[in-house]
Amino acid sequence: MIRRPPRSTLSSSSAASDVYKRQYQRRVRGNQLSMEPPASNPNGAITAPGDLPLESWWVLGDLYQFTQRDDKSFTMEVVAYPCQGGHPPNHVHANEDEHFYLIDGSMMFMVNDAEPTECKPGTYLWQPRGTKHTFWPAGDAPSRFSITISPPGIENMFRAIGTDAGEVRMGEIPEVNVPPTEEQLETLAKLSPEYGVTLFPPGE
């Protein structure tokens, strides 16, 4: 069962999403799936509750919904589920800065081996490249947050790791997630160096 938000009266988002989807050109380079950025839209775009995102993927037990991408940044909304073995391990990005904004629920963030900090809705976090960090839900219910990553490109790794979640609209929270698999964890370990991501074992 899925909790559905009220449909937005904004119709421009769905139209913009359809345009962006047509502009994306997927192709395979070796074993790596890549995606061209959409053409620049001088009017921007709106993605509202109830709209379809560009793509939805189950990645390490969490729902990743791609919302916007251009040649400078990439934005997605994440529904994080409390599950064993899920969520990213402690890691460092060599190439990307990350901006987090917590929408619903509570999250624990750990930065540079400091004590984890519990964050509530409305919390904004900036993680510059080179910062060691990880995060996970603080309670027994899913949490929802937005991430803007600059520059774009790492979404290709998320896509390669993930399982297609189909058409999940923005603001919908599936009651049951898709837990991480051994294959996903192996793919994460294999692709991380290619994307400048250093993973750390549990406890490091």
The 10s digit of each residue's pLDDT in 169-178 is 999 999 989 9
> For residue 2, is pLDDT > 80?
no
Which one is predicted more confidently, 94 or 40? Answer: 94
- CA–CA gap between residue 8 and residue 42 (Å, rounded): 23
Distances 192 to 97, 144, 187 between C-alpha atoms, Å: 16, 24, 8
Reply yes or no on whether the pLDDT at 33 is more than 90.
Answer: no
Q: Measured between alpha carbons, how far is 143 from 134 in angstroms, rounded to an integer?
A: 15
Q: What is the pLDDT of residue 42?
A: 62
Q: What is the pLDDT of residues 117-170, one digit of tens each?
A: 999 999 999 999 999 999 999 988 999 999 999 999 999 999 999 999 999 999
**Which residue type is seen at 130?**
G
Q: Which residues pair with 202 in a beta bridge?
A: none
pLDDT band at residue 44 using 50, 70 and 90 as cut-offs: confident
Predicted local distance difference test score (pLDDT) of residue 127: 93
Contact between 47 and 23 under an 8 Å Cβ cutoff? The reply is no
**Residue type at position 44:** G
Check residue 204 and give its pLDDT: 65
Query: Given this model, what pLDDT does residue 20 score?
Result: 41
37 token code pair: 């950025």
The tokens for 8 are: 């937005």
The counts of H helices and E strands in the chain are: 3, 16
In this prediction, residue 41 has a pLDDT band, given cuts at 50, 70 and 90, of: low
3-state class (DSSP) for residue 61:
coil
